[in-house]
């Protein structure tokens, strides 16, 4: 499976200015190739000899590849917009989708393919232009022990150099060995929700609650409020900025949740993690205006994907089960009825926390709906 790793570069002042110049020239070249292509000249058979750029030829080749893929994607989106407008017109709607604008790279970056960079002895080597000629520079890096072990026998892919909070970093794609899936061990059921972001139940009886639903909800409401205020003041840039910030926070929360869940699974010798199929996850949730349903579906989907990915790395299989009645079935006698409030009480005397019940039933469920979500 393909993974990526970020390495911080510690260039000398001179190296830093060389890399900065390379990154600027790189995006300038890609942007100019894209504009040539969309203005009617095909770049399909372009080689380094067709491109004027103050870059090593390996990087010019990469620019051509990048430009081609940007153009291809752009045409695909344009085509989608045309189809959408056609169907809108058919339905008699006066609304039209705007044609997508041409993507322009703004953030300085550059890509170097695996044949043109090399990592060794806490240094990374790649070509830049020095006085009009291509020259390899060797930039000091700091690798953690984990990264050293990781890279010792990895097959590298493309490297991307970007600036992140004022430092240069290299994002390196590598092929990791496919982990061997465990064939023996316990089963874990996970119930994803709003009030409790996640609850796990292991077949050895262990129960764990993750995250803080109330805090997440307050955060979202706070950002929604800010957004509304800024929108009515027509501060579009500020709206975008806080949207990005909220996305980043949500992403961090999901990363932490999925990490904690998989850690628990590893600690309890889990071989299979079961999740509800996401299309109608916890459909028993009463829909209030405060709960934006589509938004929640999306964040469940994202969290499930992260769990799936981290579980796979730990050799744990993820399976999806039918969500019907998981929050209503008594695991002791099998009766089906709704929970009153947060507590689930059954006629047979069984009682438990409602969200824990979901995880428990998911753990026991054999109603598989494949090992892919369909949200
Ligand atoms: Zn019962």
Q: What is the pLDDT of residue 98?
A: 86
Section 87-105 average pLDDT: 88
- What is the domain extent for residue 169? 2-175
Ligand 1 geometric centre to CA of 348 (Å): 4
Section 198-219 average pLDDT: 92
Ligand 1 geometric centre to CA of 352 (Å): 11
pLDDT at 283 exceeding the cut of 70: no
Q: What is the pLDDT of residue 10?
A: 95
Section 214-225 average pLDDT: 88
215 C-beta neighbours (distance < 10 Å), count: 11
CATH of the domain at 337: 3.30.420
Q: Has residue 374 been placed in a domain?
A: no
Of 175, 207, 239, the residue at which a domain comes to its end is 175
The verdict on 322 and 215 lying in the same domain is yes
Of the given ranges (41-55, 152-166, 291-305), which has the lowest mean pLDDT?
A: 291-305
Ligand 1 geometric centre to CA of 344 (Å): 10
Q: Has residue 353 been placed in a domain?
A: yes
Q: Are 320 and 370 in contact (CB under 8 A)?
A: yes
The verdict on 79 and 212 lying in the same domain is no
Ligand 1 geometric centre to CA of 280 (Å): 25
The verdict on 76 and 217 lying in the same domain is no
Of 156, 175, 194, the residue at which a domain comes to its end is 175
pLDDT at 105 exceeding the cut of 50: yes
Section 2-26 average pLDDT: 94
Into how many domains does the chain fold? 2
Q: Identify the band that residue 43 occupies on the pLDDT scale cut at 50, 70 and 90.
A: very high
pLDDT at 208 exceeding the cut of 90: yes
Ligand 1 geometric centre to CA of 339 (Å): 12
Ligand 1 geometric centre to CA of 356 (Å): 15
Ligand 1 geometric centre to CA of 325 (Å): 14
Q: Express each pLDDT in 130-146 by its tens digit.
A: 998 999 999 999 888 88
Q: What is the pLDDT of residue 207?
A: 95
169's CB contacts (< 8 A; 6+ apart) are 6, 7, 8, 9, 161, 162, 163
Section 176-185 average pLDDT: 85
Section 96-122 average pLDDT: 90
Q: Are 169 and 10 in contact (CB under 8 A)?
A: no
Q: Express each pLDDT in 329-357 by its tens digit.
A: 998 898 998 877 778 898 898 988 888 99
Residue 137 phi, psi dihedral angles, 5° rounding: -110, 155
Q: Express each pLDDT in 308-318 by its tens digit.
A: 999 998 999 99
CA dist 60 and 57 (Å) reads 5
The verdict on 159 and 190 lying in the same domain is no
The verdict on 193 and 170 lying in the same domain is no
Q: Has residue 370 been placed in a domain?
A: no
The verdict on 119 and 91 lying in the same domain is yes
331 class by beta-carbon count within 10 Å (0-12 exposed, 13-18 middle, 19+ buried): middle
Side-chain-side CA neighbours of 298 within 13 Å: the count stands at: 8
Ligand 1 geometric centre to CA of 329 (Å): 8
The verdict on 191 and 76 lying in the same domain is no
Ligand 1 geometric centre to CA of 355 (Å): 16
pLDDT mean across residues, the chain: 88
Q: What is the pLDDT of residue 280?
A: 47
Ligand 1 geometric centre to CA of 351 (Å): 8
Q: What is the pLDDT of residue 217?
A: 85
The verdict on 198 and 263 lying in the same domain is yes
Section 95-112 average pLDDT: 90
Q: What is the pLDDT of residue 295?
A: 60
Ligand 1 geometric centre to CA of 345 (Å): 8
Ligand 1 geometric centre to CA of 272 (Å): 26
pLDDT at 286 exceeding the cut of 80: no
Residue 50 token pair? 């067709």
Q: What is the pLDDT of residue 284?
A: 41
Ligand 1 geometric centre to CA of 350 (Å): 5
Q: Has residue 372 been placed in a domain?
A: no
């Amino acid at each position: 499976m393909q993974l990526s790793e970020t390495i911080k570069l510690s260039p000398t002042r001179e190296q830093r200015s060389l890399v900065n110049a390379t990154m600027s020239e790189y995006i300038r070249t890609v942007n100019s190739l894209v504009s040539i292509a969309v203005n009617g000249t095909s770049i399909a058979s372009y080689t380094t000899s067709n491109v004027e750029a103050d870059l090593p030829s390996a990087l010019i080749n990469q620019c051509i590849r990048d430009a081609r893929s940007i153009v291809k994607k752009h045409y695909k989106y344009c085509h989608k917009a045309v189809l959408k407008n056609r169907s809108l017109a058919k339905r008699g709607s006066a609304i039209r989708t705007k044609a997508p604008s041409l993507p322009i790279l703004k953030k300085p970056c550059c890509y170097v393919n695996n044949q043109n960079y090399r990592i060794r002895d806490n240094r990374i080597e790649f070509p830049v232009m020095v006085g009009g000629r291509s020259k390899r520079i060797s930039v000091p890096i700091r690798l953690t022990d984990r990264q050293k072990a990781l890279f010792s026998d990895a097959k590298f892919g493309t490297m991307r150099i970007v600036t992140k909070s004022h430092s240069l970093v290299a994002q390196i794609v590598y092929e990791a060995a496919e982990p061997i899936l465990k064939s023996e061990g316990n089963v874990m059921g996970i119930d994803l929700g709003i009030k409790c972001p996640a609850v796990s139940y292991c077949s050895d009886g262990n129960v764990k609650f993750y995250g803080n639903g109330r805090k997440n909800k307050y955060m979202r409401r706070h950002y929604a409020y800010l957004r509304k205020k800024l929108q009515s003041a027509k501060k579009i840039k500020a709206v975008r900025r806080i949207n990005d910030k909220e996305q980043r926070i949500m992403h961090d929360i999901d990363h932490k949740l999925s990490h904690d869940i998989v850690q628990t699974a590893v600690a309890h010798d889990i071989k299979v993690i079961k999740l509800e199929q996401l299309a109608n996850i916890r459909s028993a949730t009463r829909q209030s205006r405060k709960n934006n349903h589509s938004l929640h579906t999306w964040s469940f989907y994202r969290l499930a994907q992260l769990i799936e990915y981290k579980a796979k790395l730990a050799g744990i299989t993820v399976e999806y089960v039918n969500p019907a009645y998981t929050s209503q079935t008594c695991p002791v006698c099998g009766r089906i009825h709704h929970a009153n409030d947060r507590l689930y009480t059954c006629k047979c005397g069984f009682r438990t926390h409602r969200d824990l019940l979901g995880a428990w039933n998911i753990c026991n469920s054999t109603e598989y709906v494949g090992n892919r979500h369909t949200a």
